[in-house]
Amino acid sequence: MSLNQRRLKILNLIQEDGHAKVNKLSKAFNVSEVTIRQDLQVLEEMGYVQREYGGAFLKDVGDFAKTGSLFNQTHMEQKAEIARKAAALVEDGDDIILDSGSTTTELARLLVGHKNLTVITNALNIAFILGENPSINLIVSGGEFKAPTLSLTGDMAANSFRGLHVSKLFLATAGISSDMMLTYPSLSDLVVKSAMMRAAGKIYLLADSSKMGKAAFASLGRISLVDTLITDSGISQHALESLKELKLEVIY
């Protein structure tokens, strides 16, 4: 991994978790703590993070929790269309899991009027959206709070999904690599998403076309772990052919 690639992945991780420790970054990227401190110094000089003793945190990280806004607000037109396709798959009386993310948040907005719906989520902003409807049975996981994604993560969050069974999971991802791996900026999310997937009868991946070919730091596994990909019409023909080889259903 080149220096620039490492710094970008460190930044993506901090943008996901809100903060990071030098010793953990050193182990994750297999470089010295001195090298990580130099990386964080560069990211601070560029205005992305603010260093503290033993680590760094995302600049203005508290604003996300105060305003209830998500860090990633790109490609929102495509995400809204994906959410509409996903909403058509949800019926009154369903029991579903909604993963945290900007596209699943758009989906949650479309489900507010449903009746007798059971929703389990690790996203606090989704809980606030759906909590206004008393006919929705809303269950929120425990876990460690991540301000940029307004979500709960880690082993405690994963334990909330163990022993459960729902009909549908609407899963998010940071990127789908060129070799069709589901990737995420943070290791802490992998255990949560794995637990969600084990609890679901059918798994829908909501990912706009900009995420195709992107590889984040951590990998959950092949995209064939999901049943259906819901994306937008911007997906390339090459990507569609790769998905067809994996016999993955694609809705776009």
pLDDT in tens, the chain (252 residues): 445 888 988 888 888 788 889 998 898 889 999 999 999 999 998 888 889 899 998 887 666 666 656 666 778 899 999 999 999 999 999 999 999 999 999 999 999 999 999 999 999 999 999 998 999 999 999 999 988 889 999 999 999 999 999 999 999 999 999 999 999 988 889 999 999 999 999 999 999 999 999 888 889 999 999 999 999 999 999 888 889 888 899 998
Residue 193's pLDDT is 96
The CA-atom distances, in angstroms, between 65 and each of 86, 124, 150 are: 27, 10, 7
- Ramachandran region of residue 136, left (φ > 0), alpha (ψ -120 to 50) or beta? beta
3-59 and 76-251 in the same fold: no
Structure tokens at 45: 């000089």
Q: Does domain 76-251 have CATH number 3.40.50.1360?
A: yes
Could you give the angle at which helices 102-110 and 76-87 cross, rounded to 10 degrees? 50
Residue 67's pLDDT is 60
Could you tell me the fold of the domain covering 3-59? Arc Repressor Mutant, subunit A (1.10.10)
Sketch the domain layout of the chain as residue ranges.
3-59, 76-251
Residue 1's pLDDT is 46
Which residue type is seen at 145? F
